[in-house]
């Protein structure tokens, strides 16, 4: 469970996140929509513990990311917009390496199973990541977070640059993860993907959460209209 309570953050006197309150329950996917500079990435970085909020509190399953950094990090799976893996290692080796950093030892079969579940085809497992497409790297990135058995996932523009098939596979995977009880925040520009995957959607503008709605209450077109209305105002 992710709890963000009245959190604010400024850079050089400019408020980037303003009094943000948001809760993501277990098994829930919350999408954060917003233009560039709306405060999505800053919010994620505060949840990740890389930035300290100027005001307010953040809690990950009852733990404070600033004070209990290592414990929190064990529970979080983070997937950036561009998953940059080691190009000289294969997908399987990358997964093995990142798992070993988390002190998790998997057998080769278990590792390949993670890759398979994240949609990476068998013929790519042993190829060097330097030859991968962005979607394939993204899948390995998700496999890394998945293999970590994270309870909380933070995704920063995860579908950016993915082809429709890869995007669809990503959506399925996220739904699967939430079905297993994970709390997920997904920051994105992609209104239709967010509508399709998320249970709740928040619209951020200039650091303010200007609108929060349930995905099932709106159609994709309606969501787009709402979003554009807020962006134009």
Partner 1 sequence: MWQIITNEWRYLSRTKSLLVISFSFIIILLAAAWLGYKQNKVHEKNYAEAKQYVRAEWESIKEMNPHGAAHYGTYVFKPTQVLSGLDDGVNAITGNVLRVEGHVQNEMVHSEASQMQSVSKFGKLKGALLLQYIVPLLLIFLSYHAINSEKQSGRLKMLIFQGSRLRTLVVGKTIAIWLYGFSLLLLTILVYLIFHAATMHTDVWLRTFLLLFSYSVYYFILCGLTLFLSLRIQQAAVALTCMLTLWVVWSIFMPNILQSAVSAWHPLPSRNVFKQAMKEDRSKGIDGHNPSEEREKEFRKEVLAKYGVDSVEKLPINIDGLLMQADEEYGNIVWDKHFGELRNTLAQQKQSYQLGGIINPFISLQNASMGFAGSDNYHHQHYLLQVETYRRMFIKMLNDKHAFGGSKSGDWDWKADNAFFKSVPDFEYQESPIQTSLTLYLTDIAWLLFWFTLVFILLLFGTHKLTVL
Using CB under 8 A, list all residues that contact partner 1: 45, 48, 50-51, 70, 73-74, 76-78, 80, 82-86, 88-89, 93, 97-103, 141, 144, 148
- Residue 221 token pair: 């077109």
Exposure b/e, 116-142, CB count within 10 A at least 16 = b: eebbbeeebbeebbeebeebbbbbbbb
In DSSP terms, 183 is beta-bridged to: 152
* Minimal distance, residue 88 CB to partner 1, in Å: 4
Nearer to partner 1, 21 or 100 (CB): 100
Q: Residue 228 CB, nearest distance to partner 1 (Å)?
A: 30
Secondary structure, 3-state, 39-100: CHHHHHHHHHCCCCCCEEEEEECCECCCCCHHHHHHHEEEECCCCCCCCCCEHHHHHHHHHH
- 75, 65 Cβ separation under 8 angstroms: no
Nearest distance, CB of residue 202 and partner 1, angstroms: 23
Q: CB of 100: closest distance to partner 1 in angstroms?
A: 5
Residue 99 or 184 with smaller CB distance to partner 1 = 99
CA atoms within 13 A on the CB side of 73: 11
For partner 1, which is the closer residue by CB, 4 or 51? 51
CB of 204 to partner 1, least distance (A): 19
Which of 187, 223 has the CB closer to partner 1?
187
Minimum distance from residue 92 beta carbon to partner 1 (Å): 13
The nearer residue to partner 1, 103 or 107, going by C-beta atoms, is 103
Region for 206 from its dihedrals, namely left if φ exceeds 0, alpha if ψ lies in -120 to 50, beta otherwise: left
Rank residues 50 and 225 by Cβ distance to partner 1 and give the closer one: 50
Count the neighbouring beta carbons within 10 Å of the beta carbon of residue 50: 12
Task: Give the C-alpha separation, 166 to 147, whole Å.
Answer: 19
């Amino acid at each position: 469970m992710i709890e963000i309570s009245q959190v604010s953050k400024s850079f050089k006197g400019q408020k980037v996140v303003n009094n943000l309150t948001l809760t993501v329950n277990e098994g829930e996917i919350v999408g954060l929509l917003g233009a560039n500079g709306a405060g999505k990435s800053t919010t994620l970085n505060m949840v990740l513990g890389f930035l300290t909020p100027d005001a307010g509190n953040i809690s990950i399953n009852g733990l404070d990311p600033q004070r209990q950094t290592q414990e929190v990090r064990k529970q979080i799976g983070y997937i950036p917009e561009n998953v940059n893996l080691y190009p000289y290692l294969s997908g399987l080796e990358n997964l093995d390496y990142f798992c070993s950093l988390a002190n998790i030892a998997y057998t080769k079969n278990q590792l390949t199973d993670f890759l398979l579940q994240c949609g990476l085809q068998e013929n790519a497992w042993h190829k060097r990541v330097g030859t991968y497409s962005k979607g394939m790297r993204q899948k390995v990135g998700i496999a890394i977070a998945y293999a970590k058995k994270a309870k909380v996932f933070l995704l920063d523009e995860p579908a950016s640059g993915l082809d429709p098939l890869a995007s669809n596979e990503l959506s399925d995977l996220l739904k699967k993860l939430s079905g297993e009880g994970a709390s997920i925040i997904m920051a994105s520009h992609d209104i239709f993907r967010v509508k399709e995957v998320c249970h709740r959607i928040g619209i951020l503008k200039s650091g303010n959460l200007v609108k929060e709605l349930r995905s099932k209450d709106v159609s994709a077109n309606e969501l787009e209209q709402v979003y554009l209305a807020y962006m134009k105002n």
